Structure 1
């Protein structure tokens, strides 16, 4: 009978611990989000930071929130280093692929804007110089 009572007490303690962890995570994420919204409003009102810096701050804080969510709710923060690396390295490669594809797509868009179908590249480089003569 005591063993069952101890197990039930352990489950209650674990549930209290989980609830505290969820609320702590909620408040941390809420504070970061309120800070982000506050920065956005300050930027709209006063424009105190360059947009590139502000975007870098937003991306950094978003990555921080994503890391915290993964660490707490997916319990990745409590796992061994090899498992964490097994998940994070492919994720970083995926992010790199997205950036590379966006860069290539922008390059193709700009290249298509400069060339009409069937126009050789040399003609495009020569044509503007000939128009000025």
Structure 2
């Protein structure tokens, strides 16, 4: 009995948890979307004689992919994906209004710039 030692320390074997899988899944999804965005951007750069409607379409796709990436980043890293709907709307609705205000002010500023010499 005299060779036994007692310790109050509790140790656990470390096992990679579910959080690691979620991080890697997030990494691969964001990487995939980013590669698609870069491929579309390089396509627009390398083909200079592309029709105007196709350029606008590709830019729209890039904007939509960027918004999807932003939504996914906010959902995962800010943990809004785990929140209740009212909390999400409390954050998202003012943000959408802010983005709308920026667009409206840019539109109005451009209209003022183009029409200021006409009247």
- Normalising TM by the smaller chain, what interval? 0.7 to 0.9
Q: Name the structure 1 match of 2:97.
A: 93
Computed over aligned residues only, the root mean square deviation of the Cα atoms, in angstroms, reads: 2.4
Structure 2 residue runs without a partner (length 5+): 1-8
Question: Any residues of structure 2 matched to 1:46-125 within 5 Å, and which?
Answer: 46=47, 47=50, 50-112=54-116, 114=117, 121=119
State the alpha-carbon separation in 1 of the partners of residues 17 and 78 from structure 2.
18
Larger Rg: 1
State the alpha-carbon separation in 2 of the partners of residues 107 and 28 from structure 1.
39
The normalised TM-score by structure 2 is 0.78
Question: Any residues of structure 2 matched to 1:9-24 within 5 Å, and which?
Answer: 16-24=17-25
> Is 2:32 the partner of 1:31?
yes
Count of matched residue pairs: 108
Structure 1 residue runs without a partner (length 5+): 116-120, 122-133
The normalised TM-score by structure 1 is 0.70
Following TM superposition, by how much is the alpha carbon of 1:43 offset from its aligned partner in structure 2, in angstroms?
Answer: 2.9
State the alpha-carbon separation in 2 of the partners of residues 104 and 44 from structure 1.
30
What SS does the aligned partner of 2:17 have? helix
